[in-house]
Amino acid sequence: MLLEVDDLCVNYGRIEAIRNISFTIDEGEIVTLIGANGAGKTTTMKTVSGLRPVRQGTIKFQGQDITAMPPHERPVLGIAQSPEGRGCFIGMTVQENLDMGAYARPDRKSPKIGQDRDRVFGLFPRLAERRTQVAGTMSGGEQQMLAMGRALMANPKLLLLDEPSMGLAPKLIQQIFDIITEINNQGTTVLLVEQNAAQALKRADRAYILETGEIVREGSGKELANDPAVKAAYLGGDV
């Protein structure tokens, strides 16, 4: 088991954002969390990466309890996040952004960094073309690619992707999801938070549905995509 979340509760002040959720991720999987706005998806992601404190419950990564581990230590273990809203360093170039993704790696001065950068450029040829361009002058789609590439530069065992298709044109959405599948095929486990439920379920090995901070349904991506209630609530009646 790569990630185990057990009985997790997270508050924003007195408001319960997540209540008693439990889920697991096995090595090599794509697991997706879907749900409406405010369901607790991003809060779950932030809590796994250490950006939200846990009121109750545990988070284990490769069997190690990381519930109280500071967020800056988690990339060293192998957890990296591409956040909602991308969060690129807008005054830095593409290559500088990518290099920031490797800041926590003990081997950051080794040739392996260059190899991983080449891997990112292979996945995102647009970034290779724009390696000297300042991130703030790039399109939203290009910045999304950069945020994902920066997270990959941490050489993660678990890649957290929060709303990677948000605000993108349909053609680019398809491309982003194809790249997510390729990242997984290359050996990186993925936890995906996504409002595009059709694409997310199509790519996911397993999925969890959140409503008002609780997991209300789980199953394989295919099972949930074919579930009439899920179709009606999240897929517009069809996949």
One domain for residues 193 and 136? no
Residue 58's CATH number: 3.40.50.300
Most confident of 66-70, 83-87, 226-230: 66-70
What is the pLDDT at residue 35? 93
What is the pLDDT at residue 144? 94
What is d(CA 39, CA 200) in angstroms, rounded to the nearest whole number? 16
pLDDT (tens digit per residue) in 91-106 = 999 999 999 999 888 8
What is d(CA 30, CA 202) in angstroms, rounded to the nearest whole number? 10
Amino acid at 208: Y
DSSP H/E element including 42 = helix 41-48
Last residue of one domain, picked from the residues 109, 132, 155: 155
One domain for residues 164 and 227? yes
177 occurs within a structural domain = no
| 142-146 average pLDDT score | 95
Proportion of the chain above pLDDT 70, given as a percent: 98
Check: CB of residue 130 under 8 Å from CB of residue 161. Answer: no
Check: CB of residue 239 under 8 Å from CB of residue 198. Answer: yes
One domain for residues 9 and 122? no
From the list 132, 194, 186, 137, the residue with the least C-alpha distance to 162 is 194
What is d(CA 183, CA 185) in angstroms, rounded to the nearest whole number? 5
- Can you say how many angstroms the Cα of residue 148 is from the centroid of all Cα atoms in its chain? 9
Band (pLDDT 50/70/90 cuts) for residue 217 is very high
| 147-151 average pLDDT score | 96
Beta pairing class for 3-12 and 15-25: antiparallel
pLDDT at 154 over 90: yes
Band (pLDDT 50/70/90 cuts) for residue 239 is very low
Q: Is 34 left (phi over 0), alpha (psi -120 to 50) or beta?
A: beta
174 occurs within a structural domain = no
One domain for residues 10 and 68? yes
From the list 99, 163, 106, the residue with the least C-alpha distance to 127 is 99
175 occurs within a structural domain = no
pLDDT (tens digit per residue) in 109-121 = 888 999 999 999 9
From the list 114, 124, 135, 213, the residue with the least C-alpha distance to 176 is 124
Single pTM value for the model: 0.93
Instruction: Tell me the pLDDT of the chain averaged across its residues.
Output: 94
Last residue of one domain, picked from the residues 100, 133, 155: 155
What is the pLDDT at residue 27? 98
- Give the domain extent around 15: 1-78+157-168+187-239
One domain for residues 7 and 72? yes
Q: What is the tally of structural domains in the chain?
A: 2
One domain for residues 135 and 192? no
What is d(CA 188, CA 160) in angstroms, rounded to the nearest whole number? 10
pLDDT at 238 over 50: no
| 139-144 average pLDDT score | 93
225 occurs within a structural domain = yes
One domain for residues 116 and 203? no
106 occurs within a structural domain = yes
One domain for residues 101 and 112? yes
| 179-188 average pLDDT score | 97
